Structure 1
């Protein structure tokens, strides 16, 4: 056997990928590894004046020499290498000031020290997530739904009482509580996925009327729009930095449209086709957003919303559907390395079924925003 022809191909665990035995097979890096690499690249490219990799390597070499090729490997979005924790300390020290060299922590001003601590905590958290993602679930492309701790509460809209079937009545001997829930398709899809990815964590679902202070202090996943989910309405108002709102309009009585704020504000509406038996929904709009939990900044809020139930399901399936979730996770990792974002997406409806948005296809992306970048309408 000639050397190198049938060598075992090993993908290093420290980038969150898996080891394989097939010759020549190289798996994509984990979304966590791409997220860290993208953050390091953004720090360098957004610096004023803009830094080259050579300039950054020279600055970081003040503590210990580092090669330009090493900087490049840490920033690679295709084969990222994991920087040592002490190097992230140097990154945070360098980028927390406007000075052109590394400054000892003891010489930082009060504002610089706060900036350093926040940036260092963020970078170490991203690095830890790479290890967590590599050790975690075998479900590929599940980093958004992988949580380090719990509890995780999915808050579901409650259908109007007038729409409850007989079995939603507690007096019925065959009472079934789930008949009170709206957006059940989205809940079933998401409930199973989150539990599979987080087998050791507590995952519960609640109606808005059942939510307690303990639920609000954990990780929250909010399903559905503002009409049937009071918590969704409250959170959308609480997130003042989020330039997307959901509003009722007189010409649509089946849901609430989305509206972007600012000078170039737009409305995002569903699309219909006329059929023999009336209008048919052919495209809904979905909102997928992740932000810090306003009640506990160490936890997150994820909003899976839509104008109609197909939009809600589409926002969920963007990160659960095996056909698209890995590509979509990679897109989020590359474009939103800080982890907070909002996306408005098209959700085509074919034969009554919602199709999962593929974020690599530009036409699916209607609007995107993150705290560190200006909003972008496609």
Structure 2
């Protein structure tokens, strides 16, 4: 559908046939769509002109796809496009179908699992010393809170909510690595945290044969990632710590994102690792794929860089500003520190 007249005709047909197909309860006017999209009626008219039509922005075309993906868009006082995470699996399929018809390409979301196989988020257990410092982590305390036993709880909270929205018909659970069952290992695994606390991360890093290893640094609190480039060069990637006001402050963490086939599964499932040297980095690399302010651009970069590869690895910086974790822009050469596998023909800028 390359010509504007084709796009204009398709937009008009979506509107005028919505009632006949049972999508809308009554005929839709251009004014109805204008109110749904927050634009003027003349602009909608310009989009539908048979000759000399104005092309809607990609954002408005996305609203068309969400609006006409479900009859629920027309259930209220006026039409309104639903958010993507509010669509069912069937409605989301229709959304992507309409986007394709309108000439939009959608970057793949690595955290969308359309096969319906359950997803298990695997967290490390907080070390006993840390649990002892939090009164409510004691299981015998009347106000015991189980999540205080989980490492990286902020990343877990972010990830669990996002996975549930994107996969509304899929069972999404979180488990401590110490409580995993054989059933859990046969699901899609999303692993939080590093080899120091999460034994599953340690086993996966051994099994996946990646040119990335998490190591300790003698005499220093922080760990590091040891990476091997395609030419055999070995590098050590470390977080940036600064003394400020008598305190050691994290200015920049280093985090690892990895996707691979699940080596423990009999089914065609995957494993995804989110791992920072500190909890700030783990949260940052999670938000790279869940944060509304950066995930689409990061999806596009991952799709362009790795395509449909079932295995990829990326180590990046996670800037921390005044204690606030920023969402890393994976398309920024200054943010990316190591990628694998190497692209055909050299690095992608």
Provide TM-score, normalisation by structure 1: 0.64
Provide the C-alpha distance between the structure 2 equivalents of 1:11 and 1:323, rounded to a whole number of angstroms: 32
8 Å CA contact 1:141, 1:329 repeated in 2: yes
Q: 2:286 aligns with which of 298, 310, 316?
A: 316
How far does residue 167 in structure 1 lie from its aligned partner after superposition? 1.2
Q: Does 1:229 align with 2:195?
A: no
Provide the C-alpha distance between the structure 2 equivalents of 1:221 and 1:250, rounded to a whole number of angstroms: 30
Which gives a bigger RCO, structure 1 or 2 (Cα 8 Å, sep 6+)?
1
Q: Does 1:147 align with 2:113?
A: yes
Q: Counterpart in 2 of 1:205?
A: 174
CA 1:230 to 1:170, structure 2 compared with 1: closer, same or farther past 3 Å? Answer: same
How far does residue 370 in structure 1 lie from its aligned partner after superposition? 2.7
CA deviation digits over 1:274-316, x for unaligned, max 9?
A: 2122321100001011011112261000000011111101110
How far does residue 12 in structure 1 lie from its aligned partner after superposition? 12
CA 1:211 to 1:360, structure 2 compared with 1: closer, same or farther past 3 Å? Answer: same
CA 1:195 to 1:171, structure 2 compared with 1: closer, same or farther past 3 Å? Answer: same
SS at match of 2:202: helix
Q: 1:256 aligns with which of 211, 220, 223?
A: 223
Provide the C-alpha distance between the structure 2 equivalents of 1:142 and 1:238, rounded to a whole number of angstroms: 26
Aligned length: 266
8 Å CA contact 1:11, 1:26 repeated in 2: no
CA 1:8 to 1:187, structure 2 compared with 1: closer, same or farther past 3 Å? Answer: farther
CA 1:156 to 1:133, structure 2 compared with 1: closer, same or farther past 3 Å? Answer: farther
8 Å CA contact 1:142, 1:197 repeated in 2: no
8 Å CA contact 1:158, 1:228 repeated in 2: yes
Q: Counterpart in 1 of 2:235?
A: 266
CA 1:350 to 1:145, structure 2 compared with 1: closer, same or farther past 3 Å? Answer: same
How far does residue 26 in structure 1 lie from its aligned partner after superposition? 4.0
Provide the C-alpha distance between the structure 1 equivalents of 2:192 and 2:347, rounded to a whole number of angstroms: 24
8 Å CA contact 1:9, 1:25 repeated in 2: no
Q: 1:299-314, aligned counterparts within 5 Å? A: 299-314=269-284
Provide the C-alpha distance between the structure 1 equivalents of 2:323 and 2:215, rounded to a whole number of angstroms: 25
Q: Which runs of 5+ in 2 are unaligned?
A: 15-36, 38-42, 48-54, 63-91, 99-105
How far does residue 185 in structure 1 lie from its aligned partner after superposition? 1.0
Q: 1:176 aligns with which of 118, 122, 145?
A: 145
Q: 2:155 aligns with which of 186, 192, 203?
A: 186
Q: Counterpart in 2 of 1:283?
A: 252
Q: Which runs of 5+ in 1 are unaligned?
A: 14-19, 31-129
Provide TM-score, normalisation by structure 2: 0.69
How far does residue 9 in structure 1 lie from its aligned partner after superposition? 7.0
CA deviation digits over 1:308-334, x for unaligned, max 9?
A: 111101110001111110011011111
Q: Does 1:244 align with 2:212?
A: yes
SS at match of 2:297: helix
8 Å CA contact 2:305, 2:348 repeated in 1: no
Provide the C-alpha distance between the structure 2 equivalents of 1:173 and 1:238, rounded to a whole number of angstroms: 42
Q: Counterpart in 2 of 1:336?
A: 306
CA deviation digits over 1:210-254, x for unaligned, max 9?
A: 1111111110000011111111111111111x111101121322x
SS at match of 1:257: strand
CA 1:132 to 1:371, structure 2 compared with 1: closer, same or farther past 3 Å? Answer: farther
Supply the RMSD in Å over aligned alpha carbons.
Answer: 3.3
CA 1:373 to 1:238, structure 2 compared with 1: closer, same or farther past 3 Å? Answer: farther
Q: 1:117-132, aligned counterparts within 5 Å? A: none
Provide the C-alpha distance between the structure 2 equivalents of 1:11 and 1:283, rounded to a whole number of angstroms: 50
